[in-house]
Structure formats: structure tokens, C-alpha cells
Amino acid sequence: MSALGYVLYRNGDLDKALMQYERVLRFEKIITPPREFPDAYLFRGAIRSVRQQFAEAVNDFRHAIEIYERQVGLLDAQAEKSESTGLKQKAEIERKRKAGIENQLQMARDFETNAEKRIQR
């Protein structure tokens, strides 16, 4: 659902993309085991920014940032543990995943900064 939302977002179909991200976030609350979808918050916030709903966008970006930061910390700890137990290849994979999440984290921070500037205008 999240990937479909991203495809729709990239194709400029913001209404359908928003609907997909809303669906993902509803799903997030009911699945077991629990799972978080920070990309859904990130891109819902991006859509809200396009629609000049900056306060709501900032809330979404902050939520995404919080989740990404938690994921980065967990992956860092997992990589360290894997490295210390001799699982170098596993540690490398975890570090690559961490780097991808850090890219998303930086994007969320940049989007948040831009939306906050728009609120202040």
C-alpha cells in the first residue's frame, strides 16, 4: 500500500496517493506485530505541504523523524552486535539499511524546516 502511494505521489496523483497513505496509517494501528511506516507520514506531510496545510505537514514530518531516528538507533545497535559476534556481512547489510533510513530522515528534516518557514510567513 505504501509503495503504491509512492508511485501515485511520483506520478502527481496526490489525491489517490493521500488516500493510500491514510490507508497505510490506519493499517499501522491494527497489525500484529506492530510496525511503523514513517514513509507514509513523510509523504502525507509532503502532500499536505503542497496543499499549503503546513501545520499538519509539520506534525507528519515530526512523526516521521521520530520513527526514523528510532530505526537508525536500532539498526546501529544491531550492526554493532552483528559485528561483535563475527557476522560482518550481516553488519554490512544493516549499515546499508541504516544509511537509506538516514537519507529519508534528512529529507524529513529538510521538509519540516521548509514547512515551518512557510508557517512563519
**What integer pLDDT is reported at residue 55 of this predicted model?**
96
**What integer pLDDT is reported at residue 97 of this predicted model?**
96
**What integer pLDDT is reported at residue 121 of this predicted model?**
76
**What integer pLDDT is reported at residue 120 of this predicted model?**
83
Q: Which residues of the chain have pLDDT under 70?
A: none
Domain span including residue 57: 2-120
The rounded radius of gyration (Å) of the Cα atoms in the chain is: 16
CATH number of the domain that 28 lies in? 1.25.40
* Residues in contact with 68: Cβ distance below 8 Å, sequence separation at least 6, in sequence order: 38, 101, 102, 104, 105, 108
**What integer pLDDT is reported at residue 28 of this predicted model?**
86
How many structural domains comprise the chain? 1
Is residue 65 within 8 Å of residue 110, measured between CB atoms?
no
The pLDDT tens digits for 89-108 are: 999 999 999 999 999 999 99
**What integer pLDDT is reported at residue 11 of this predicted model?**
95
Amino acid at 83: E
